Amino acid sequence: MQHQYGTAGKRKTKYYDIYPGIDDLKEPARRRIPYFAWEYLDSGTGIERLVDHNRQRLRAIEMVPKFVGGNFDVSLQTELMGETYDLPFGVAPVGMTGLMWPGGELMLARTASRNNIPYCLSTVACQSPETVGPLCDDNGWFQLYTPFDREICLDILKRARDSGFKTLVVTVDVPVPSMRERQRKAGLRIPPQTDLKTLLRVAARPQWAWATLLHGKPGLPLLEKYAKSGDLKEVSSFFGRQLNNVVNLDYIKYIRSQWQGKLVVKGVLHEEDARMLVEAGVDGIIVSNHGGRQFDAAPAAIDALPAVVKAVDGQCAILFDSGVRTGLDVVRALALGAQFVLLGRAFLYGIAALGEYGGDHVVNILDEDIANNLKQLGVREISELKSCLR
Ligand SMILES: Cc1cc2nc3c(=O)[nH]c(=O)nc-3n(C[C@H](O)[C@H](O)[C@H](O)COP(=O)(O)O)c2cc1C
């Protein structure tokens, strides 16, 4: 993809000047979805120190531009684990996306397919892999919370593979559910409460309420088969029993032996974990602190990145997420050694604010911002970025 300096060309849409940045989508998103859904989307855990810290540490990274290299085009096409994507970022797995905007998983899968970027479907999505897989073309990744029961694990892997997902992302940074105080105060429960306060909150968001009527109440369809029930209360208690799991190396090796596609482990911060995962034969590692939603005293993910890059030493791909809100943040993570970047909340703000093409608008914002900042830096290739760090 070639970029003209200072223009998004055909990518300019009606949203271009109204929501030029991802943060501009936050307030419209908040106003369109019920309070409990917003608190689920936006919150962290504890005193939410890490949510801010992730962003502040990204912002603190300075890069030194070079100005006399002449005029050039920038290519953002990125090779990752044998695949070619048009851009160096994709959509992170987000559980219960359909709670934040009904049908959100379907929208983001279509966004990924239209823009040739990956979309990662969560184990706890409101749509099944069988529904979402075919919408992703070849860009579908599937995220796994490892069940205790390995028979269930095998069946989930089979369903993901048969639905067209080629990359498996195993999340390891949820040993137990975190405190999520804001969500609890907002009355977020599974299944959703039907008390007067909740109903009034839903009534205050008529577009969301209407869309929910059309799509049906959000559920966890992947898990219904194993919970042997469509009742959300049963399914969620099954989730509590089966999927809140400390993942050990033995389990990763087992999955490695059972999954023929690319295997990525998500939620790594410590270089010792990274080394062990390389030995277990993973294809990629996502340096992430779950967007600050799990352990509030963790380091900013961007601060953990260089040590993991060094420990892995090119033996598998390194991806990054947590706190990314601009194209320049993507550039910063790439400069520090990530090959690819994922974003969670940014895409959720997009669909909650704008619906079907909200995710595409987020892609456009990032695409133009990355290309522009590479030009500002005087860097033709992502691989040159390191030379601008001090
Ligand atoms: C509402 C929400 C739900 C999430 N659900 C999952 C999930 O089901 N599985 C998972 O591996 N990560 C989950 N994450 C973490 C994201 O995949 C990603 O690591 C995080 O959002 C990155 O930070 P960012 O939101 O600042 O981009 C969730 C994040 C959010 C915001």
Query: Would the pLDDT of 55 be above 60?
Result: yes
pLDDT digits (tens, 9 = 90+) for 102-120: 999 999 999 999 999 999 9
41 lines ligand 1 (CB under 6 A): yes
- What CA–CA distance (Å, rounded) separates 85 from 89? 8
Question: For 309-315, what is the mean pLDDT?
Answer: 98
What CA–CA distance (Å, rounded) separates 230 from 219? Answer: 8
Q: Give the relative orientation of helices 345-354 and 35-42 as an angle to the nearest 10 degrees.
A: 150
- 91: enclosing H helix or E strand: strand 89-91
Per-residue CA distances from 181 to 289, 293, 343 (Å): 18, 11, 23
Find out whether 236 and 61 touch, Cβ atoms under 8 Å. no
Active-site residue, 290 included? yes
**CA atoms of 260 and 315, how far apart (whole Å):** 18
Question: What's the mean pLDDT when you consider all of the chain?
Answer: 94
Percentage of the chain exceeding pLDDT 90: 82
105 lines ligand 1 (CB under 6 A): no
DSSP 338-382: -SEEEESHHHHHHHHHHGGGHHHHHHHHHHHHHHHHHHHHT-SSG
Measured in whole angstroms, how far is the alpha carbon of residue 335 from the centre of its chain? Answer: 20
CB 312 within 8 A of CB 278: yes
Q: Look at the pTM and tell me if it is higher than 0.75.
A: yes
- Residue nearest ligand 1's atom 29 by CA: 94
Per-residue tokens: 374: 């590479």
Please report the DSSP string for 265-281 in residue order. Answer: EEEE--HHHHHHHHHTT
Tokens standing for residue 64: 């030194």
* Any atom of ligand 1 within 6 Å of the Cβ of 183: no
Higher pLDDT, 3 or 373: 373
pLDDT of residue 7: 35
Helix (H) or strand (E) holding 104: helix 104-115
Q: Give yes or no for residue 78 CB within 6 A of ligand 1.
A: no
Q: Tell whether ligand 1 has an atom less than 6 A from the beta carbon of residue 266.
A: yes
294 Cα to the center of ligand 1, angstroms: 10
Across 13-37, b (16+ Cβ under 10 Å) vs e yields eebeeebeebeebbeebbebbbbbb
Q: What is the pLDDT of residues 266-289, one digit of tens each?
A: 999 999 999 999 999 999 999 999
Q: Whose CA is nearest to atom 28 of ligand 1?
A: 94
**pLDDT tens readout for residues 176-212:** 888 889 989 888 887 777 889 899 999 999 999 999 9
Residue to mutate (ligand 1; options 36, 156, 293; most atoms within 8 A of CB): 293
Are the C-beta atoms of residues 91 and 341 closer than 8 Å to each other? no
For residue 9, name the pLDDT band (cuts at 50, 70, 90).
very low
Q: Is the CB of 291 under 6 A from ligand 1?
A: yes
- Tokens 């397919």 belong to which residue? 113
* Assigned CATH topology for domain 15-385: TIM Barrel (3.20.20)
**Ligand 1 atom nearest to 96, measured from its CA:** 3
Determine the pLDDT at residue 244.
67
Q: What is the mean pLDDT of residues 328-354?
A: 98
Separation of 209 CA from ligand 1 center, angstroms? 24
Q: How many CB atoms lie within 10 A of CB 294?
A: 22
* Distance between Cα 92 and ligand 1 center (Å): 6
122 lines ligand 1 (CB under 6 A): yes
Rounded percentage of the chain residues whose pLDDT exceeds 70: 97
Provide φ and ψ at 90, rounded to 5°.
Answer: -150, -175
- C-alpha of residue 154 to centroid of ligand 1, in Å: 24
Q: Is the pLDDT of residue 231 over 90?
A: no
Residue 291 CA to ligand 1 centre (angstroms): 6
Instruction: Give the residue extent of every domain in the chain.
Output: 15-385
Q: What is the pLDDT of residue 11?
A: 59
